[in-house]
Structure 1
Amino acid sequence: MKAPYFARNRCSAYSHHSAITIRSCRIAKIEENNSREILIFANSEALAVVYIFAAGLFFYFHRFMPNSSIVITGATGYIGSQILLALLARFPGERRCRVIARKSSDCSFLESLPVEIVRADMLDPLALLEAFRGAETVFHCAGLISYTRHSRNALYEANVVGTRNVVNASLHHKVRRLVLTSSIAAIGASEDGSPASESSTFQEWQRRNGYMESKHLAELEGLRGVAEGLEVVMVNPGVVIGVDRRNPASVSSSNEVLRLVYQGKLPFFPSGGTGFVDVRDVADAHLAAWEKGRSGERYVVVGSNLTFRELFARIGTLSGSSSGRAFMVPDALGLLAGLGGELWSMLSNRPSFISLESIRIASRILAFSNTRSEQELGLCYRELSETLKTLL
């Protein structure tokens, strides 16, 4: 039986009203969902902006914060002191410099400078961990130079173990960059006799030169740090000379030898030659390596390749020089003198001015290419004549 007309229409009207209500609810729900999505999207964008801003602040303060600490080991030594002076001159009052020195080191040179002095030994890992706290950059200049046989153990401890401890402390404190003072001794001679470069393979094991071996092994410690996530750049200076003789920080055995030649007190020279560089150029190279150097790379820092005959001749032309005619020492006679120096060193327990190792290395003609340091670090080396005039 059919429902009455009004009943059918009422049901139809009710259904129509219900459909409109449901549709309205759906539209409202969709609008609500859209609003929620827009709100979530807006919140996500805001969070992204906050994260980017925070990351930018962290990067800025981590890398460029003016009060970030620069740690220097070996700042009481010849090269380290010049690096410290260069840093203070370039960033007056902008960077905190912390100097690591042994308890036995004379720090009188540093007392008038705006630096923090921390007493710690390179062979004490725990002391270094404390000394490196808050460091952003480390210049590791501390080391030992010796060409006597009985110094092999001391060379290994100072140059290899000391560098290992510095690398470990830098890794622990997440230091941004470590600049390692190495040497051309870590490179040695090239295989074909051409000027050695950063890519030359170390070929000095068979010569049993303790100093050269220790510097090469120290570089391997630096490269191990690179493999573990630390930025390490190595600077390989030649024979470092120069700076005003009135500066107490410029005392070095190389400068003393040059003064003896200038005064005419050393008329003999060995048959070899090597690369020489002004200590101010070495300091500039360290700062450039910090700012521009590629991590894991080394940079030869040599201004002039000269034989010792040429070096003596250059000194003889300086104004006021008492250097007269000099004579080349035959290799055999030089080795005999080196042996005598070794015996004297063993008996006196003091380092000798000459030794078998020093005579052997001075009797070889070594040359080094500075192309990479000029191109990548932008170094412009001083003329040797300028260095000698300033020194002598």
Structure 2
Amino acid sequence: MKVLVTGANGLLGSHIVRELLNRKFDVRAMVRKGSNLEALKGLNCEFFKGRITNKTDVEKAVKDCDYAIHAAARTTQTPSQLEAFYKINVQSTKLLFEACVKYKITRFVFVSTANCFGNGTKVFPGNEKNPFPLWLKSSGYAYSKLLAQEMVLNKSGQYELDTVVVNPTFLIGENDVKPSSGEIFFHVVNKRFVFYPPGGKNFVDAKSVAGGVVNAMLKGKKRESYLLAGENLSYVDFFKTVMRITQQNPLLIPVPSWFLKLLGYGGDLLEKWFKVPVQLTSTNAKMICTGNYYSAEKAIKEIDFEVIPLQQSLEKAILWFQKNN
């Protein structure tokens, strides 16, 4: 059985490829020409070089495959407008979906994001029944993933293509070559001062998510979504855990929400009037001041999702970063 994986050289994509190979699937890894393939070094998979926004490339990639896992996406937070994300995150998903219909793929797995569901608290974490927060429409990334997710689920019944959606939270893992989510370590490691916002995240092991993606491909219910979540931690607790592992003791300094939100509004003005891409907009400021906590209860029950302890995930990831400078 052959599985197409888009975005195969990314943090999650490379872990999905490894998981599939470990389970004896043949893998066709779709990557852009000239992209960094270090995360896939030494793996026995077929490489298909093409663009996910090109219909011809997409159809050639899908042809002769039994399953397709669409993990490729634009995830950067700058610029924040939907237009910057629409072609890669929405139109490419439509092209993949249509190609899967054309070649009668057994199942199409769309990798979305936990942000498509409303967050919760540590006591009552968000789940798949929580509606999309309307204020996140101003996040081009989150809103583009929601549009793509809704398109996949709605068209699935119309075209009789078996689909399932997975919604990972914030990934922690090895082989983060770019790096992507691993940039969060740079706020702590080798720093004299660590500034932290008042909010928090759900952190999940990339290998654990890869296993959940493959389980969803094999066991997930048609047209269902599965949150692939790990441990809910405030930012200060997360940074303290990283400090213990790296045996460092920087000074922790809280940043009040009012100050972050003020900076965020300033970022909005820079984007709007001067067309300057900024990391901190009012939407991003609200996000990091919020407890973005989720539960993987549904995935654990229905697709045997395995949650790896965060301490273990952090130790592996930090060791990988240290070894790879």
Supply the AA of the counterpart residue of 2:11. Answer: Y
State the AA in 1 paired with 2:116. Answer: A
Moved more, 149-158 or 131-140: 149-158
Q: Does 1:210 align with 2:210?
A: no
Cα 1:342/1:103, change in 2 over 3 Å: farther
TM-score by length of 1: 0.74
Q: In the alignment, which of 290, 293, 310 is matched to residue 367 of structure 1?
A: 293
Question: Is the deviation greater in 303-312 or in 259-268?
Answer: 259-268
CA distance change for structure 1 residues 150 and 242 in 2, over 3 Å: closer, same or farther? closer
Matched residue type, 2:160: G
Partners of 1:377 and 1:353 in 2: CA distance: 36
Could you tell me how far 1:149 is from its partner in structure 2? 4.4
Per-residue deviation, 1:329: 0.8
Q: TM-score, normalised by structure 2?
A: 0.88
Number of the residue aligned with 1:229: 160
Unaligned residue ranges in structure 2 (runs of 5+): 319-325
Alignment map for 1:204-283 (pairs within 5 Å): 204-205=134-135, 208-227=138-157, 228-243=159-174, 247=175, 249-264=176-191, 267-283=194-210
For residue 98 of structure 1, what is the aligned residue in structure 2?
28
Q: Distance in 1 between matches of 2:15 and 2:270?
A: 33
One-letter amino acid matched to 2:161: L
Aligned match of 1:46 = none
Aligned residues: 316
Q: SS state of the match for residue 139, structure 1?
A: strand
Q: Which has the higher helix share?
A: 1
- 1:383 is the counterpart of 2:309: yes
**Is 1:286 aligned to residue 213 of structure 2?**
yes
1:332-391, CA deviations, whole angstroms, 9 ceiling, x for partnerless residues?
321344456667778998864444332221111121121111111112211111111112
**Residue of structure 2 aligned with 1:130, choices 51, 55, 60:** 60
Given candidates 49, 69, 73, the residue that maps to 2:2 is: 69
Shift of the 105–312 alpha-carbon distance from structure 1 to 2, 3 Å rule, reads same
State whether structure 2 residue 257 is matched by structure 1 residue 331.
yes
**Residue 163 of structure 1: aligned partner:** 93
Query: What is the letter of the counterpart of residue 212 of structure 1?
Result: A
| Contact map agreement 1:182 1:234 (CA 8 A) in 2 | yes
Distance 1:312 1:107, change over 3 A: closer
Report whether the alignment pairs 1:79 with 2:6.
Answer: no
Conserved 8 A contact 1:269-1:329: yes
Q: Are the structure 2 counterparts of residues 166 and 273 from structure 1 closer, same or farther at C-alpha, using a change threshold of 3 Å?
A: same
Distance 2:116 2:167 in 1: 8
Q: CA deviation at 1:120?
A: 2.0
**1:145-156 to 2 correspondences below 5 Å:** 145-156=75-86
RMSD (CA atoms): 2.6
Q: CA, structure 1 residues 328+111, in 2 after alignment: closer, same or farther (shift >3 Å)?
A: closer
**Match of 1:236, as an amino acid?**
N
1:116 matched to 2:116? The reply is no
Moved more, 205-214 or 325-334: 205-214
Residues 125 and 293 in structure 2, CA contact (< 8 A), matched pair in contact too:
yes
- Contact 1:148/1:356, CA 8 A, preserved across alignment: no
For 1:75, give the aligned amino acid.
Answer: A
Deviates more, 1:332-341 or 1:251-260: 332-341
| Residue aligning to 2:323 | none
CA contact (8 A) 2:170 2:204 kept: yes
Structure 1 portions without partners, runs of 5+: 1-67
| SS at structure 2 position matched to 1:364 | coil
In structure 2, the CA distance between the partners of 1:328 and 1:207, relative to structure 1 (3 Å rule), is: farther
In the TM superposition, 1:15-54 aligns within 5 A as none
Aligned AA for 2:232? N
Q: CA deviation at 1:152?
A: 2.2
CA contact under 8 A between 2:84 and 2:140: conserved in structure 1? no
Cα distance between partner residues in 1 of 2:232 and 2:104: 38
1:298 equivalent in structure 2: 225
Asked whether the 8 Å contact 1:181–1:235 carries over to 2, the reply is yes
Correspondence 1:166-185 to 2 at 5 A: 166-185=96-115
1:317 to 2:244 alignment: yes
Give the counterpart letter for 1:79 in structure 2.
L
| Identity in percent | 27
Structure 1 pair 297–353 and aligned structure 2 pair: CA distance change class (3 A): same
Q: Which moved more, 1:105-114 or 1:377-386?
A: 105-114
AA paired with 2:7?
Answer: G
